[in-house]
């Protein structure tokens, strides 16, 4: 899928979630004597701890490796623990996995492959709107990267790791008091060194944009 399709699709999903939340407000939930409906503070107060499982696609940044041509859309998944001390802020610890592959500049398929395991800490600002909760935040992480080149003229593997940072934004839809669905976009930035069979090192941007959806369970 191309980015021109993925980003409008994400926006449409978030719009649909918000419309569902607006329609789900009970018509007879107003205050006494026809007053305005009281804010539903129960919706996101149950469970200060939660576990999330997400999956989606990864749109890699342009790689800086000689001989690499077309870079394909990859995969993204993560498991996340979230602690929410109050209605406004959350703190997330994430173990992720994403990867991609690329063709050579001469057209040979899947010559280059890349797998990254990030360990991330994120601070999130959350805004509850009845059944929908919008959030955005930023954080830092440690990225373990594995790269493999398997071409006609060279075959080698390389491992490296480095610190990086990320930004995220998304929306969560409450299904039950303990279960929510969510969709988000994450921008990752980190770089490592890939060393070829001769030991020559090349700096590689292993970041990009992840678009995912998943489920959150509160406890």
User: What are the phi and psi torsion angles at 18 (to 5°)?
Assistant: -70, -40
pLDDT tens, per residue, the chain with 219 residues:
444 444 445 445 544 544 444 444 444 444 444 444 444 444 445 568 999 999 999 999 876 666 677 889 999 999 999 999 988 899 999 999 999 998 877 777 878 889 999 999 999 999 988 889 999 999 999 999 998 888 666 677 889 999 999 999 999 999 998 999 999 999 999 999 888 777 778 888 999 999 999 999 998
Domain of 87: which CATH number? 2.40.160.20
Which residue range(s) make up the domain with 125? 3-24+47-218
Residue 39 lies in a domain: no
Residue 37 lies in a domain: no
Residue 101 lies in a domain: yes
Report pLDDT for 125. 96
Dihedral sign for Cα atoms in the order 22, 23, 24, 30: positive
Report pLDDT for 112. 85
Give the number of other Cβ atoms within 10 Å of residue 152's Cβ.
9
Residue 36 lies in a domain: no
Residue 197 lies in a domain: yes
Residue 89 lies in a domain: yes
Close Cβ partners of 118 (under 8 Å, ≥ 6 residues apart): 94, 95, 96, 98, 141, 142, 143, 144, 164, 166, 188, 190
Residue 199 lies in a domain: yes
Radius of gyration of the chain (CA): 21
Report pLDDT for 30. 45
pTM for this model (two decimals): 0.76
Q: Look at the chain and report how many structural domains it folds into.
A: 1
SS3 15: helix
Residue 95 lies in a domain: yes
SS3 labels along the chain: CCHHHHHHHHHHHHHHHHHHHHHCCCCCCCCHHHCCCCCCCCCCCCCCEEEEEEEEEEEECCCCCCCEEEECCEEEEEEEEEECCCCCEEEEEEEEEEEEEEEECCCCCCCEEEEEEEEEEEEEEEEEECCEEEEEEEEEEEEEEEEEEECCCCEEEEEEEEEEEEEEEEEEEECCCCEEEEEEEEEEECEEEEECCCCCEEEEECCEEEEEEEEEEEC
């Amino acid at each position: 899928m191309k980015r021109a399709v993925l980003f409008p699709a994400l926006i449409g999903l978030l719009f649909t979630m918000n419309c569902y939340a607006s329609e789900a407000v009970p018509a007879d939930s107003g205050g006494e004597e026809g007053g305005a409906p009281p804010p539903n503070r129960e919706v996101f107060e149950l469970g200060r701890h939660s576990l999330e499982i997400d999956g989606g696609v990864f749109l890699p940044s342009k790689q800086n490796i000689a001989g690499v041509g077309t870079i394909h859309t990859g995969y993204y998944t993560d498991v996340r623990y979230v602690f929410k001390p109050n209605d406004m802020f959350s703190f997330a610890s994430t173990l992720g996995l994403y990867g991609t592959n690329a063709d050579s500049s001469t057209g040979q398929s899947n010559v280059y492959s890349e797998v990254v395991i990030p360990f991330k800490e994120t601070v999130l600002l959350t805004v509850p709107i009845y059944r929908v909760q919008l959030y955005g935040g930023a954080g830092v992480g440690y990225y373990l990267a594995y790269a493999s080149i398997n071409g006609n003229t060279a075959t080698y593997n390389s491992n490296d790791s480095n610190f990086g940072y990320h930004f995220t934004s998304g929306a969560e839809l409450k299904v039950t008091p303990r279960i929510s669905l969510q969709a988000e976009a994450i921008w990752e930035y980190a770089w490592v060194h890939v060393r070829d069979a001769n030991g020559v090192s090349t700096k590689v941007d292993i970041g990009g944009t992840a678009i995912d959806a998943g489920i959150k369970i509160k406890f």
